[in-house]
Structure 1
Amino acid sequence: MSSTSSLGGLCPQPFLQETLFPLDGGFVGGRFCLPLSTLQPNLTCCLPCPLTDWTYSDGFEARTEIANWVNVAAFVLSVYLLLSFAVLPVKYTHRHYLSVCLTLGVVFIELGFIIPLGTKPAQCFNEITPNDMKSSGSCAISGAFLLFGGWAVVIWVFCRALALHLQICWEVTLGNLSFYVMLAFGWLIPIVGLALTLSLTGVSFRFGNVCHINHKDALQDYWGPLLAFAALALVLQFITIGYCVQVYIKSLFDEQQTTNTSSQPPTYNGSMKTMTARQTYRRVKRVVELQWRGASIVLVIIAEVVFFSVVFVSMDNSTQLNASLVAKAKPWLACLSEKGGDKNQCLPLASGLVKSEAVVLTVLILLGLSGFWCLMFMGRWSMTHGWAEFFRTKLFRKSEFVSADARRLSNDPRTYEMLSAATPQLNIQPPDRALSGPRMKEFEHADAKQDFYASARTYVTPVSSFSQPKAPIQHRDWDPRATHARPMTTQEFDWKISQLPD
C-alpha cells in the first residue's frame, strides 16, 4: 500500500521518496535507492538509514560495539608495551625501532574504534542518507585513524620482513642510514596514502559506529596497494625462511668436525653424522628462539590484511547498484513492501545480498586483536621484572645505609679511613695533659707527618701493563676470492642471526 506521510510520498512502506530529501548533505552515494517506474514514471524509492537495520537482525548495531571494547582492552596493552619500550632498560624489553613503529601503527587502528565510544556519533544525516567525513567530525577522525593505522601496520611489517631478508640473505649491515631511510619510508607512505584515499574515496558510516572506506575506487586507492605491500612482505619472508633452511641442510653435508681435538679418526663410522646432526639441531633451535617472534608477527598481520581485504572488497561489490543487484534484490524488496516493513519475515531473502553477521563481526573483532598480537609476540615476561625493579628503585627508594662507625666523628682525619691488615698499625697515645702550648703543636705536627709518610706507596708500572691507550689496528680490505679462504660457516651465520632484532 502507498504511504500518505510526507516522507514516504508515493513509495510503499517502508520506502521513502528520494526527491523529498536534499542532495547537499551526507554521503549521497551511500543511499540504497531503486527506481519504481511501475508506480509512477521517474519515481525512486529508498530504504531508511541505516541500511544494516534492514539487512541484519535486531541488535546488530549493539553487537558491533563489542569490537570497540575489544580495542579498548588492546589499547591498554599497547600503551603498556610502548611505556615498557620507553622507560625500561633494553635488557628487559629488547626494543627495536621496527617493533616500536609497528606498535604505534596498531595504536592508530585502536583509536579509530575508541573515539566513537566517547562521541556517540549519529550514523545518518537524514532519513535516507548516511553521514560521511564532511558531515560528521567523529566520522572523519575515526576513519582517518583507521586508514592511517592500516597503512602504517602493513608498511612496517614490510620493513621488518625486508630488514630480516637483507641481513640474513645479503649480509647487509643496517646502520644509521637504513634507520633514517626506513623511518622516512615507514611514515611518509602512510601519510601520502591517507591523503590520497580521503581525497579520492573518502569514508562514511557503512556498518557500526566506525567510519569505513567508501566502495567507490576503494580497490584502486586503498586495498590494492595494501595487498601489494603485504604480498611483497610475504614473499620476502618465505625467501628468508627458505634460505635459512637451505643453509642448515647444507650444514648436514659440509659440516667439519670441530669438537674433536685429537688427530685420530673416529672410533666408529657414525660419530661424524651423529655430531653433525646434534650441532645442526642446536643451531636450528637457536634461530627459532631468536627470530620466531618477528617472523610470527609478520605472518599473522599479513593473514589479517588478506582476510580484511577479501571481506571488504566483496562487501563493496555486493552493495553497488547495478542490474544484477536489482534482479537479486527484487524478492527481498517485494517482501518488505508486502509485509509493510516487517524485516524479520524477509531476512532470509536478504542473506544472499550481504555478508553474514558472523563474518562482519569477526572482521571487526580481529581488527581489535592486533594489539594482543603485538603484546604476545613482542612482549616479554622480563618486562614485569623490569617494572618491579623500576618501582622498587625509583618510587620506593629507601634511605642509604649508614655505618655505625660514621657516628663517631672527630677532628682526626685518620678516623675516616679503614686501614687494611697489611698496613702497620700505629700505636698513638693521646698526648699528656701536661703537654700544651708549643710542645702540643709540635707533637700534633709530627704525628700528622708520620701518618702521611706511612701511608705513601711507590707505584711501579708493570712490564706487561696494558693501561696505556693504543691505536686501533687497521685492517685492509681483502678479497676472499683472491685467496683460499673458505666461505661463510654456519657459526658465522649463527652470529649474524643473533644480531637481528627480536
Structure 2
Amino acid sequence: MSLLEAVARGNCPSPFFEEKLFTDGGFVDGRLCQIAPNGATCCMPCPIARIAYPDSFYTMSTAAQWVAVVSTISCVFLLLSWIVLPIEKTSRHYLSISLTVGVTFMNLGFVIPLAARPNECYDAITPNSMHTSSVCAASGSFLILGGWCGVMWIFLRALSLHLQICWQVVVGRNFMWFSQVAGWGIPAIGIIVALVLSGVSFRFGSTCHINHQNSLATLWIPLLVFAGFTIILQFATFAYCIKVYLVSLADGAASTEGSGLPSYAQSIKTMTPRQAYRRVKRVIQLQWRGIAIVLIIVTDVVFFSVVFVFQDNTVQQVTNNPHLADDWVTCLAFAGGDKTKCLKEARVMVVAQATVGAVLLLLAMNGLWLAILLGRWSMVTGWAELFMHVPNRNKREFVSVDARIDDLKKDTLTPLSPVAQKSALRSPRSPSAAGNTDYADYYNTLVSQDSRIAGNIDGRRTPDYFGQTARYHTPARSFSSPKPPQTVTWEMHPPSGEAGAEGGDNKYVNPLGMNRF
C-alpha cells in the first residue's frame, strides 16, 4: 500500500477509505459507506463491482461489448441495405427500419465504453456520473433511448399484427403516422424525464445505468407497462389463431374448400371458419419473423428490467441499512482487502454473475437476431450486383450522354418506312376524297399535337419532323395480320343526295369504314 493510499484510508482498515478525506465531487449518492466502531465513516472502494465480483466479471462484460460491436455492424448492414437496395431485394418496412434504429442505439450504449475506456470513478470512493463524464452521459443516454425505442416499436409491431389478424383491419397511412409519432415521441419524452429526474452513473460495469432516485417512476414502470401491453396483445393474437384453427377443423362446408381467401364481392366479416383460418395462416406465414422479433426483444427488456431493479433495490437497502453487509465488511477487514476470500459473503449484496452476464449478452445480441430474422440472402446478392454493375453503368453514361438523348429521340420519333414516305407525299385530299375534308382535318390536328408532344425531350425543343402541315393518309395496305398483303379496293356509297352517289363521277370513301375488309 502506497503512502497516498494510507493517508486516504485515514482511520479505516484496508480496503476502506475514510469519507471526510474526499470532496463532494462525482456521484456522491453512489458511495457505499458505514460508520466503523472507532467512529470513522468508512466507504467501499470504487468501483464496488471490482470487489463484489471475481475478476472474470469484467472479462465477461468486455465479451458482451464485443458482441454488441458485431450486433451494431449487423444493424448498420440492414439499414444501408434498406436505404440503397431496391425494395424487391429487401422487402423493407418502416416498422423494421425503426426497430433496427432503436436496437442500434441500445448497442451504442455498450460500444462507446469499449472504445473510450472511461474511468468509472471520480475518486477512490465516488463513481462518475453524467455530469463528470461525457462517456457516461453518452452510454447511459443511448442505453435508455434504445430500451425505450425497442419497447415502443415491438409494441407497435404487435399492435399492427393484432389488428390485421384479429380485427381484419388493413393498417395503412394513418397507422404509419401514428406509429412514427408514438414510436419516436414517447422515447424522446422518456429519456428527457429519466435524465432530468434520475440521471445516470456507473453502477456496475463500464456502461452507465439510471440512478436509483425516481428510477421506478421515470423508467422501469413505464417500460414494463408497455412491455406488458405487448405481451397481452401477442398472446391475444395467439389465442385468436388457436380459436380459428379449432373452429376450422369442425368446418366441413364444401363451399369453403375452393379458395383460401374471400372473393372481392364477399365481405371479410362473412368469411367461413375455414376461410378465416386460411387468411390467418397466410398472415402468420408472412409475419412470423416479426412475431419472433417481438418475443425475443420483449423477453430481453423484461429480463433486464427485473434483474436491474432487483440489483438496484438490494444496493439501496444496504445503503439505507449498512448492517446488512456486516458479514462482508468484517470478512474484508480481516482478510486485508482480499476479495477472493469474501465472495461468498458478497452474494447478499449483488446479483449472481451468471445472471448479469446473461442479461448483458442478451441485450448485446438483439442486432444479431434482427440480421438473422429480418435479413435476406437477396440483400447480399443485391450488394454484389450493385458493385458489379455500377462501374459499367457509370462508364456508359459518361461516354454516351449525348447518344442517350439521340436514342431517346429515335425511340420517340421513329422514321417512316419507304412505303409510308411515298404515301405521305401524296395529298390525302384527292378529287376522289370529296366529302372527307372534316375527318382529314381532324387527323391532321392529332398528328400535329403528337409531333409537338414528342418534340419535347429532356426539356429541349427538338425539330418538328412532321411539320405543322403534316396530313394523315390512310395506307393502301395493311400488314397487321400474318396474311400476305392484298390489294383491297374500297368502294362505299355516300348518302343519297350528296355528290358522288351512285351514278356520279366520284366514288365516296367512308372514313369510318376504312379498316374493314
Structure 1 length as normaliser, TM-score?
A: 0.73
Gaps spanning 5+ residues in structure 2: where?
A: 259-271, 397-409, 423-472, 481-510
Could you tell me which of 126, 129, 147 is aligned with 1:129? 126
Pair 1:328 & 2:324 matched: yes
Secondary structure of 2:34 counterpart: strand
Could you tell me which of 191, 201, 205 is aligned with 1:204? 201
Query: RMSD across aligned C-alpha pairs, in angstroms?
Result: 3.5
Deviations 1:363-404 (A, max 9, x none): 11111101011112211222222223323332344977xxxx
Amino acid at match of 1:235: I
CA distance in 2 between partners of 1:7 and 1:455 (Å):
112
CA distance in 2 between partners of 1:277 and 1:159 (Å):
28
CA distance in 2 between partners of 1:115 and 1:348 (Å):
33
**Aligned-pair distance for 1:278?**
10
Deviations 1:245-269 (A, max 9, x none): 22232223335224889xxxxxxxx
Q: Is the alpha carbon distance of 1:189 and 1:339 closer, same or farther for their aligned partners in structure 2, counting shifts above 3 Å?
A: same
Could you tell me which of 73, 87, 91 is aligned with 2:88? 91
Cα pair 1:14 1:48 within 8 Å, conserved: yes
Cα pair 1:318 1:325 within 8 Å, conserved: no
Residue in structure 2 matched with residue 367 of structure 1 by the alignment: 363
* Number of residue pairs matched by the alignment: 405
Output aligned runs, 1:9-88, within 5 Å. 9-23=10-24, 25-36=25-36, 38-40=37-39, 43-88=40-85
Deviations 1:222-247 (A, max 9, x none): 11110100010111111122222222
CA distance in 1 between partners of 2:204 and 2:157 (Å):
33
Deviations 1:399-457 (A, max 9, x none): 77xxxxxxxxxxxx9xx98989xx99x9xxxxxxxxxxxxxxxxxxxxxxxxx998986
Residue in structure 1 matched with residue 216 of structure 2 by the alignment: 219
* Aligned-residue identity in percent: 46
Cα pair 2:32 2:319 within 8 Å, conserved: no
Deviations 1:111-158 (A, max 9, x none): 111112222211100110000000001100111011000000000111
Amino acid at match of 1:30: G
Q: Is the alpha carbon distance of 1:315 and 1:89 closer, same or farther for their aligned partners in structure 2, counting shifts above 3 Å?
A: same
Residue in structure 1 matched with residue 230 of structure 2 by the alignment: 233
Could you tell me which of 348, 358, 376 is aligned with 2:354? 358
Higher relative CO (CA 8 A, sep ≥ 6), structure 1 or 2?
1
Q: Is the alpha carbon distance of 1:399 and 1:10 closer, same or farther for their aligned partners in structure 2, counting shifts above 3 Å?
A: closer
Cα pair 1:65 1:208 within 8 Å, conserved: no
Residue in structure 1 matched with residue 289 of structure 2 by the alignment: 293
CA distance in 2 between partners of 1:117 and 1:92 (Å):
34
Structure 2 length as normaliser, TM-score?
A: 0.71
Gaps spanning 5+ residues in structure 1: where?
A: 262-275, 401-412, 427-451, 463-502
CA distance in 2 between partners of 1:142 and 1:382 (Å):
34
Residue in structure 2 matched with residue 174 of structure 1 by the alignment: 171
Deviations 1:9-39 (A, max 9, x none): 111121111011111x211011110112x21
Output aligned runs, 1:100-499, within 5 Å. 100-258=97-255, 286-322=282-318, 326-397=322-393
Amino acid at match of 2:286: L
Amino acid at match of 2:360: L
CA distance in 2 between partners of 1:281 and 1:392 (Å):
45
Q: Is the alpha carbon distance of 1:396 and 1:349 closer, same or farther for their aligned partners in structure 2, counting shifts above 3 Å?
A: farther
Secondary structure of 2:349 counterpart: coil
Cα pair 1:158 1:233 within 8 Å, conserved: yes
Secondary structure of 1:212 counterpart: strand
Residue in structure 1 matched with residue 400 of structure 2 by the alignment: none
Residue in structure 1 matched with residue 496 of structure 2 by the alignment: none
Which stretch shows the higher mean deviation, 198-207 or 349-358?
349-358
CA distance in 2 between partners of 1:219 and 1:148 (Å):
16
Q: Is the alpha carbon distance of 1:339 and 1:141 closer, same or farther for their aligned partners in structure 2, counting shifts above 3 Å?
A: same
Larger gyration radius, structure 1 or structure 2: 2
